[in-house]
Amino acid sequence: MKEFWNSAITEKSFDILLGLKKLPFEFVVIGGWAAYLWTKAHKSKDIDILLKNFEDMKYLRENYSLKKNDNLKKYEIKIEEIDIDIYVPFYSRLALPVEECIRHTARIEGIEVVSPEVLLILKQGAEIDRKDSVKGAKDRLDVMSLLVYSPVDFRKYFALLKSNKLESYFQRLKEIISSFKEIEYMGLNPRQFKLKKQEMLEHLKKCA
């Protein structure tokens, strides 16, 4: 399977993520690393986390050069060349509220990550914001990897869309599936990929 990012940078990023796990603050992983932990398909370059307790900001301020990004409603840390984006309850704006995301989690390899259904929606939100960029292409790849390699429950996914008034994401997901052509990143041959696409679209049709 072809990798999206350079392996040297992704290995360094993952080492930093594992290091964060040992520190005295609680977080939930979202973004590309959460997609990797669910799918084992494509590693990430940046690290995106949800802070579970706002009180832990004190630890981060005291130990890192923490920056507040008011435009994007997040906090940022840089460790070497790795960017760490930190989203907090009742401040950050994601496709789903942070406080709702942290209610839907699981542990994989000792790391707390959001559920596949929540992650799919967060990835779609990111893709909508930057769909014409390189990161938007990676978002679409992560969306497809989640659909193929993780246990997405489409009924839960659709229920979350409905309760958060994001029904338009449903149509966009069908468009991503139908138009996706980067088969070399999926670890499937053309026939396998075609069958997977048909299967996904059938599942979505049943949930609508």
Greatest Cα pair distance in the chain: 54
Residue 16 buriedness (CB in 10 A; 0-12 / 13-18 / 19+) = middle
The mean pLDDT value for 8-17 works out to 91
DSSP string across 139-159: HHHHHHHHHHHS---HHHHHH
116 Cβ contact partners less than 8 Å away, ≥ 6 residues apart: 38, 146, 150, 151, 152, 153
pLDDT of residue 95: 97
Contact between residue 35 and residue 145 where contact means Cβ atoms under 8 Å apart:
yes
User: What is 7-207's CATH topology?
Assistant: Beta Polymerase; domain 2 (3.30.460)
Q: Is the pLDDT of residue 70 over 80?
A: yes
Q: Is the pLDDT of residue 203 over 70?
A: yes
- The domains of the chain are located at 7-207
pLDDT of residue 3: 66
> Residue 136 — pLDDT band, cuts 50, 70, 90?
confident
Structure tokens belonging to residue 167:
């029904």
pTM, whole model, 2 decimals?
A: 0.94
pLDDT digits (tens, 9 = 90+) for 151-189: 999 999 999 999 999 999 999 999 999 999 999 889 999
